[in-house]
Amino acid sequence: MGNVPTKEDRGSQSSRRRGSSISSTINGLNPNSSSPFPAQKLKLGKRSSNTKEKEKFKEAHAAGLVVKYDENVDGGYLAPYGTYNLNLDYKISVVKQCIIDRKLAPFYTPLQDHNKNWTDEELLKTVDSLKLHAHPSEADDEDEDLNYEYEDIDETTLSKRELKKHLSKKFNKQLKVKRLKWQDDEELRYRQEKSTSKQASSKDLKLILYRNVAECPICFLYYPKWLNYSRCCVQPICTECFVQIKRLDPHFPHDNDEEDVEDKAKNDPNLLISEPACCPYCATANFGVTYTPPFFRTGLNGDFTAGLFKLPSSEAVILEGEETSSFDVDDNYFKKSMTDATRSSSNSGNGSRSGSPSGRRGSLSANNPAVITTDFIRPDWEQKLNSARARLAKRAATASAIHASNLLIQNNEQDVEQRMIEEAMRLSLMDEEARKRRDSSSRR
């Protein structure tokens, strides 16, 4: 993980207030504008099509990171809560589909602290106080692009390189501000819906989710006990931390100690490598996780209401000696299920209702269909490696051309100098011969 902050480093993100610079910028936006970025300011018409495509991709990616209350699965969401603001370059569509298919734990809203002695009312009060997404951290408030002041800059006075850098920062600031606005809109919708009867019935679900929680060993935050587990050493990890783990950027091997070997390697694009991510617990390569979903289905996978919810067909239960073939369960079964959920979460076994992989005691192959690897959620790693090799090859070719040109110029200069010497010698000899002829004529 390397650069992943701990719970203590981040502080209490859920209690931070948004910086004044962010608030003032958001308040200055026009929420009714059909275009998220004013064309008259960005001057997109003057920018290359490649730049436009990159900006469209960035905008779509930012929109996919917005947490929407109606896009939830089993009490969690399809977008990250905001514990981290780094390494969010995973393939959003892939991760969302994995969550919907129940192959990866949803992005649960975490608790900073948890007390097993809380009453139901105290627990619900704590959970209800949480937002869909964390407040921007102080690091966000101090972000260079977010605080970039571009209104007073005369773009006509900038060089080509300065203009490109200026427009990039300008775009990034407007995109980040727009994303904050999108999230605020979702928060407002969420608060409005919480007062409805449909939201009121979710209290039972909240109690099941947060009565017995599990602490993620990476971020030290508390989540519903249904977490991902590493394929190698069967250790829990939340999805928020899982999507942070990825391959390093393409680089040369680090085992070359001799300088001449390293210098030679830097000129060979084929020696660039991209090593697979390792498990943060046991350092096994090709890190991946498995996920065992809860015994109920909610959100995009089903409806959860008091006394009525859906169970997977593989988990039919026996109630009062009779097997229930229907997914419609009465209030007595609902109360029994809550009791079972509370009891099972206290057990140390690895049953499916305790959240950990059922019956797992050893590692699974990275190619196992049940395993979601870090490469699977970032399938473009090979393309990035090839692009890095191509860029290096281009730079190497350019350097070789410059070197050859310098040699040619140097050789040409040497040739000119040699010709000048030869010409000077020829003229000197001619002068000497002319002098001798004059001397011979005078003696006659």
Say what the pLDDT of residue 156 is: 77
Lowest pLDDT segment from 6-15, 129-138, 168-177, 279-288: 6-15
The first and second tokens of residue 81, run together, are 């809560």
- φ/ψ of 229, rounded to 5, equals -130, 135
Residue 399 covered by a domain: no
pLDDT bracket for residue 318 (50, 70, 90):
very low
Instruction: Give domain status of residue 409, yes or no.
Output: no
Question: What's the confidence (pLDDT) of residue 224?
Answer: 95
Amino acid of residue 303 = D
Q: What is the pLDDT of residues 96-112, one digit of tens each?
A: 999 999 999 999 999 99
230-277 pLDDT, tens per residue? 999 999 999 999 999 999 888 888 765 555 445 555 567 778 888 899
Task: List C-alpha distances in Å: 398 to 21, 269, 387, 393, 394.
Answer: 44, 13, 16, 8, 6
Q: What percent of the chain has pLDDT over 90?
A: 33
User: Which range among 221-235, 247-261, 429-443 shows the weakest confidence by mean pLDDT?
Assistant: 247-261
Check whether 363 has a pLDDT greater than 90: no
Q: What is the pLDDT of residues 369-390, one digit of tens each?
A: 999 999 999 998 888 888 888 8
Nearest CA to 145 among 167, 164, 163, 126? 167
Q: 262 has which bridge partners?
A: none
Residue 395 domain-assigned (yes or no): no
| Residue 396: inside a domain | no
270, part of any domain: no
Q: What is the band of 144 on the pLDDT scale with cuts at 50, 70, 90?
A: low
Per-residue confidence (pLDDT) for residue 270, from 0 to 100 = 79
On whether the CB atoms of residues 57 and 93 are closer than 8 A, the answer is no
Kindly state whether residue 210 falls inside one of the protein's structural domains: yes
For residue 109, give its domain range.
7-245+280-379
pLDDT surpasses 70 at 417: yes
How far is it, in rounded angstroms, from Cα 39 to Cα 163?
Answer: 16
Question: 433 pLDDT band (50/70/90 cuts)?
Answer: confident
| Residue 128: inside a domain | yes
Contact 245, 225 (CB under 8 A): no
CA distances 67 to 71, 96, 127, 175, 368, Å, are 8, 12, 16, 16, 30
Q: Tens digit of pLDDT for each residue in 2-38? A: 445 455 454 444 434 333 433 343 343 343 344 444 4
- Count structural domains, the chain: 1
pLDDT for residue 106: 96
**pTM for this model (two decimals):** 0.67
Mean pLDDT of the chain: 74
Q: What's the N-to-C CA distance of the chain in angstroms?
A: 102
Model confidence at 218, pLDDT cuts 50, 70, 90, reads very high
- Of residues 95 and 383, more confidence is placed in 95
Q: 156-210: per-residue pLDDT in tens?
A: 788 888 888 888 888 888 898 899 999 999 999 888 887 765 555 578 888 999 9
